[in-house]
């Protein structure tokens, strides 16, 4: 006797295709317990028959029934993995060649409604930009936007950190739409400001070095090794001073010490505006609109914020 469980899981490949992986697990009950369960059940049946003959054996019936229930419960909770079978289904643009007409008709009114919201252009970028470690144009831009937001909240952060894991899409050259921003920053992250000691800033930069780089703002200069060690760190041209306090702009998710940046757990004086308008994606939109209003095409540079020696 066995029990089978099928699991389907979506994943993305390095080539950008989506895949669905099917896995089957075969479970077998623990044999000794199952045998004991069977014996107890037989004992119960015999006792039930004999109870019609001798009244005193009702107690045996009750005892056997209790034994059966207890052992049965034990049996039901003990399984052993016997085998794992898996297959891979590649889902790519081939499936777009013959779309389902009924599904397309059903989706059409919703598509128009979503497109009307997501298609407006909020700005322009000078070139294609994607996030990559240790440093990239897109990651530099997003960290700088956090720094740019400081005055709106009466803050003057010394530097900013934006996690690479929170950057979920690239930006193509040319127009940037609201939909592009939502794709790039889909999470409900809010901006926040906090204070770290210089000692903890160095610890943070060490953790960033260990991860091969994160998005840091203009003015940060880090030298790291190929194996993830921090060699040196400067902020606005000055070496990080262990005894000094630094004001940092980041995301509330990062401020909790996530993505292995645990130095943030020692934060103090945190300001974390929780209004929906403080969602990072809306702040990014505001930045692009501001640049457009000034006739600026956004063109961040890779400038040696994190250098691998």
CATH number 3.90.780.10 is the correct assignment for the domain at 113-308 = yes
Q: What is the pTM of this model?
A: 0.68
Residue spans of the domains in the chain: they are: 113-308
* pLDDT cut 90: percent of the chain above it: 61
Q: C-alpha 46: how far from its chain's center?
A: 58
196: three-class secondary structure by DSSP: strand
Highest mean pLDDT among 1-5, 14-18, 188-192: 188-192
Name the average pLDDT for the chain: 84
Q: What is the pLDDT of residues 49-66, one digit of tens each?
A: 544 445 445 555 555 555
pLDDT tier for residue 12 given thresholds of 50, 70 and 90: very low
Q: Check residue 85 and give its pLDDT.
A: 86
Nearest to 301 by CA among 137, 124, 135, 130: 137
pLDDT tens-digit series, residues 212-267: 999 999 999 999 999 999 999 999 999 999 999 999 999 999 999 999 999 999 99
pLDDT, greater one: 111 or 187? 187
Picking from 133, 135, 193, 182, the residue whose alpha carbon sits closest to that of residue 160 is 193
**Residue 80 binned pLDDT confidence (cut-offs 50, 70, 90):** confident
List the structure tokens of 81: 């993995």
Cα 65–chain centre separation? 50
Of 38-47, 94-103, 225-234, least confident by mean pLDDT is: 38-47
pLDDT tens, position by position, 127-151: 999 999 999 999 999 999 999 999 9
pLDDT value, residue 66 = 54
DSSP 71-130: HHHHHHT-EEEEEEEEEEEEE-GGGGSS--HHHHHHHHHHHHHHHHHH--EEEEESS-B-
Q: What is the mean pLDDT of residues 85-95?
A: 82
More confident residue, 260 or 93: 260
Output the CA torsion sign for 100, 102, 105, 106.
negative
What is the C-alpha separation between 209 and 194, in angstroms, rounded? 21
Cβ atoms of 230 and 290 closer than 8 Å: no
Q: Tell me, what's the pLDDT at 53?
A: 45
Q: What angle do CA 259, 263, 264 make, to 5 degrees?
A: 75
């Amino acid at each position: 006797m066995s029990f089978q469980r099928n699991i389907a899981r979506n994943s993305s490949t390095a080539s950008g295709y989506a895949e669905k992986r099917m896995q089957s697990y075969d479970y077998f009950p623990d044999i000794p317990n199952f045998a004991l369960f069977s014996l107890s059940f037989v004992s119960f049946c015999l006792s039930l028959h004999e109870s019609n003959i001798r009244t005193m054996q009702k107690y045996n019936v009750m005892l056997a029934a209790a034994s059966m229930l207890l052992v049965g419960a034990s049996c039901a909770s003990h399984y052993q993995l016997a085998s794992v079978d898996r297959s891979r289904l590649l889902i790519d643009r081939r499936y777009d060649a013959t779309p389902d007409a009924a599904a397309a008709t059903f989706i059409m009114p919703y598509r128009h409604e979503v497109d009307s919201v997501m298609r407006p252009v909020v700005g322009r970028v000078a070139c294609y930009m994607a996030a990559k470690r240790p440093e990239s144009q897109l990651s530099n831009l997003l960290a700088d936007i956090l720094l740019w937001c400081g005055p709106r909240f009466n803050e003057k952060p010394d530097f900013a950190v934006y996690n690479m894991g929170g950057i979920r899409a690239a930006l193509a050259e040319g127009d940037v739409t609201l939909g592009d921003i939502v794709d790039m920053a889909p999470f409900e992250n809010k901006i926040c400001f906090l204070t770290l000691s210089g000692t903890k800033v160095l610890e943070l930069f060490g953790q960033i070095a260990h991860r091969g780089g994160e998005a840091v703002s203009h003015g940060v200069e880090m030298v790291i090794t190929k194996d993830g060690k921090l060699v040196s760190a400067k902020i606005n041209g000055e070496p990080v001073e262990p005894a000094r306090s630094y004001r940092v702009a980041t995301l509330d998710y990062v401020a909790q010490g996530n993505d292995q940046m645990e130095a943030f757990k020692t934060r103090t004086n945190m300001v974390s505006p929780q209004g929906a308008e403080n969602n990072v994606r809306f702040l990014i939109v505001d930045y692009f609109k501001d640049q457009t209003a000034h006739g600026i095409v956004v063109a961040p540079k890779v400038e040696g914020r994190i250098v691998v020696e």
